[in-house]
């Protein structure tokens, strides 16, 4: 499912014009994006948790030449699936 | 340490940006994340451009070990979701 398909579904379910459904979805994901870019954490019970994790600097290798290269420390976005999501995917009884 | 963003904060944003009531905002937030979960359940990858992809994976059964007791036991087949952030999201963090 891509964003445009999600837009169609949300528009139909909420009696919205596609442009408005697009704005709703964009606003939701933009809020998450903004929070992560500021180094924050997003907790959506049932869905999951978005956070930012730090990767330490390490010595890497150029795979083509084998020459060692320094890889700097960096921050990566991280997502942990919530309980409802995990249960629905694994068909646990009682999952929404 | 900044506050964690929750559904209530997203509902505030929908209210501010689009003028929806809080009740309607919460309903639409549930609707959006519900559709994402439903698509993953059908085995579809969910791709939100400029944000990230959520990819469902089926894991096979494998043998694991209880780290405390050392006992071997089977880890049942299960489905997990991997998260692949877009370049746009990765870049903004530096």
Q: What are phi and psi of B42, to 5 degrees?
A: -75, -5
* pLDDT score at A92: 72
CA A74 to chain centre: 18
Which residue ranges of chain A lie beneath pLDDT 70? 93-96
Per-residue model confidence (pLDDT) at position B48: 96
Per-residue pLDDT, averaged over B11-18, amounts to: 95
Choose among B34, B78, B93: nearest Cβ to A37: B93
How many CB pairs (< 8 A) connect A and B? 138
Cβ contact, residue pair A36, B52, below 8 Å: no
Structural tokens at position B67: 């780290």
What does each C-alpha distance from A7 to A20, B31, B62 come to in angstroms?
9, 11, 39
Which of helix, strand or coil describes residue B1? coil
Report the gap between the CA of B67 and the closest CA in chain A (Å).
22
Model confidence, pTM? 0.88
Quote the DSSP letter at residue A47: T
Q: What is the mean pLDDT of residues B4-25?
A: 95
Query: CB–CB of A42 and B6 under 8 A?
Result: yes
ipTM of this predicted complex?
Answer: 0.88
């Amino acid at each position: 499912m891509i964003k445009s398909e999600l837009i169609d579904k949300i528009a139909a379910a909420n009696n919205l014009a596609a442009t408005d459904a697009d704005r709703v979805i964009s606003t939701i994901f933009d809020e998450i994006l903004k929070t992560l870019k500021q180094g924050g954490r997003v907790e959506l019970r049932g869905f999951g948790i978005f956070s930012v994790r730090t990767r330490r600097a390490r010595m890497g290798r150029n795979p083509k030449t084998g020459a060692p290269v320094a890889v700097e420390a960096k921050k990566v976005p991280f997502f942990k699936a919530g309980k409802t999501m995990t249960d629905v995917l694994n068909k646990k009884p009682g999952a929404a | 340490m900044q506050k964690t963003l929750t559904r209530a904060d997203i509902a505030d944003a929908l209210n501010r940006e689009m003028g929806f009531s809080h009740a309607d905002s919460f309903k639409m937030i549930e609707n959006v994340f519900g559709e994402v979960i439903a698509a993953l359940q059908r085995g579809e990858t969910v791709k939100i451009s400029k944000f990230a992809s959520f990819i469902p994976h089926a894991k096979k059964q494998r043998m694991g070990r209880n780290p405390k007791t050392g006992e071997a036991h089977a880890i049942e087949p299960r489905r997990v979701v991997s998260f692949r952030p877009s370049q746009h999201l990765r870049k903004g963090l530096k």
